[in-house]
């Protein structure tokens, strides 16, 4: 089945004798003993099982686990690792997950943060205790590209796992399991939900290994699971993911081209642009370049803030992946120690008509 078909037809358990077209929401927290495999909703629920079946199919995995947020999903991977493990992670890793490693796992695991788009840096960081390579590509906010196949070869040589945060690309454009990853992570809050109204996360496994069984234990014993209602709405949103992603990527390319030619813009970061340093690797491992881009405004923080305040259609807000366009000056959010340029604006390109988006950008840049 092609992606569009499976996202519409997978993960619907039509057990009701009236045969409703959509699966009803099963709010019950508990199930009668002896009637079926389900006992308690923290361990299993019909809507979560349906969603997990859908997620596994989308990423071509053998199993999936849904969590209450992307951070809960990522943290579950670190929780499942043997204490004393060494992790190699990107120096521009999603800040919430870098925080998880630095705070919750300080003294439990060791982490080396390196530029994962530079293979030599990844190689140099390997230690005998390295158990996990963590990749996020395209990355945030510079849209850096890591070579998933090459890093997978390094991980295999080391007998370590490779996990890939696929939130920006989505399985519409990139399937990390096909590129050699063992685990895929998603913040479903972003493109999967797609309407800025559901918090969620997911892990998808290539194989039901012992490590995966530990992740399942973290999920149902740790209990960071999504509600049946959230699972229902997330599955509903996923039914249109392929069409939304194509729109996001098409619009992002149009905006990236416009910004590249604008005299008030210093630099544009979008992997679809031929001049982007990761363009060739991106083209080899992705079938589209996604809906996120960043650009620097000539000047400093003040000039960048002025553009944000003049924009009408782009809300000044964090997060990404919704139908509405968003803009954010990342350095202001990331705090005083950030390496992100002060004049950089990150854009989540929405599904409004590009004529309107371009007109708004043109007036705000002046």
Bridge partners, 348 (sequence order): 292, 326
Task: State the nearest-atom distance from the C-beta of 188 to ligand PLP, in Å.
Answer: 7
- Contact (CB, 8 A) for 335 and 285: no
> Based on CB atoms, which residue is closest to ligand PLP, 26 or 187?
187
Distance CA 20, CA 100 (A): 42
Residues in the chain: 366
Q: What is the DSSP string of 223-274?
A: -----HHHHHHHHHHHTTHHHHHHHHHHHHHHHHHHHHT-TTEEEEE-TTST
> Based on CB atoms, which residue is closest to ligand PLP, 136 or 305?
136
Query: Using the rule CB under 6 A, is 328 a contact of ligand PLP?
Result: no
Active site residue 42: yes
Pairing of strands 201-205, 63-67: antiparallel
Bridge partners, 109 (sequence order): 106
Pairing of strands 326-329, 344-348: antiparallel
Distance CA 163, CA 155 (A): 10
> Based on CB atoms, which residue is closest to ligand PLP, 99 or 124?
99
* Interface segment toward ligand PLP; rule CB under 6 A; list 2-10, 48-56, 91-99, 149-157: 91-99
Distance CA 19, CA 43 (A): 26
Applying the rule CB under 6 A, the residues between 191 and 220 that interact with ligand PLP are: 199, 201
Query: Using the rule CB under 6 A, is 248 a contact of ligand PLP?
Result: no
Active site residue 210: no
Selected binder of ligand PLP within 20, 36, 84, 96 (CB under 6 A)? 96
Task: State the nearest-atom distance from the C-beta of 71 to ligand PLP, in Å.
Answer: 3
Active site residue 233: no
Size of the site for ligand PLP (CB under 6 A): 16
Active site residue 123: no
Q: Which residue is nearest to ligand PLP (CB)?
A: 70
Binding site for ligand PLP (CB under 6 A): 69-71, 94, 96-97, 136, 140, 165, 167-168, 187, 189-190, 199, 201
Residues with catalytic roles: 42, 94, 165, 190
């Amino acid at each position: 089945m092609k992606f569009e078909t499976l996202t519409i037809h997978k993960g619907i358990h039509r057990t009701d004798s009236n045969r409703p077209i959509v699966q009803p929401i099963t709010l019950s927290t508990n199930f009668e003993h002896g009637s079926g495999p389900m006992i308690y909703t923290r361990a299993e629920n019909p809507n979560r099982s349906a969603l997990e079946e859908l997620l596994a199919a989308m990423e071509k995995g053998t199993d999936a686990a849904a969590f209450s947020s992307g951070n809960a999903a990522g943290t579950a991977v670190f929780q499942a690792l043997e204490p004393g493990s060494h992790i190699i992670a990107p120096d521009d890793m999603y800040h919430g997950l870098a925080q998880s490693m630095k705070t919750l796992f300080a003294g439990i695991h060791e982490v080396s943060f390196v530029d994962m788009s530079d293979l030599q840096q990844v190689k140099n960081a390997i230690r005998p205790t390295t158990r996990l390579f963590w990749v996020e590509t395209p990355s945030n906010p510079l849209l850096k590209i890591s070579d998933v196949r090459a890093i997978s070869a390094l991980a295999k040589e080391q007998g370590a796992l490779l996990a890939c945060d696929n939130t920006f690309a989505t399985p519409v454009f990139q399937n990390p399991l096909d590129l050699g990853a063992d685990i895929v992570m998603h913040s479903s809050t972003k493109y999967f939900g797609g309407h800025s109204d559901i918090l969620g996360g997911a892990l998808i496994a290539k194989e039901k290994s012992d490590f995966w069984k530990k992740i399942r234990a973290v999920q149902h014993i740790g209990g960071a699971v999504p509600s049946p209602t959230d699972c229902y709405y997330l599955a509903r949103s996923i039914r249109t993911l392929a069409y939304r992603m194509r729109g996001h990527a098409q619009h992002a390319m149009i905006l990236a081209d416009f910004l590249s030619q604008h005299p008030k813009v210093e630099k544009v970061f979008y992997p679809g642009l031929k001049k982007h340093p990761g363009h060739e690797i991106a083209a080899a491992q992705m079938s589209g370049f996604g809906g996120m881009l960043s650009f620097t405004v000539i000047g400093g923080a003040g000039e960048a803030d002025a553009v944000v305040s003049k924009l009408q259609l782009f809300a000044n807000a964090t997060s990404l992946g919704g139908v509405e366009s968003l803009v954010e000056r990342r350095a202001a959010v990331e705090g005083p120690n950030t390496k992100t340029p002060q004049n950089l604006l990150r854009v989540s390109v929405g599904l409004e008509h590009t004529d309107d988006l371009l007109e708004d950008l043109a007036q705000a840049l002046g």
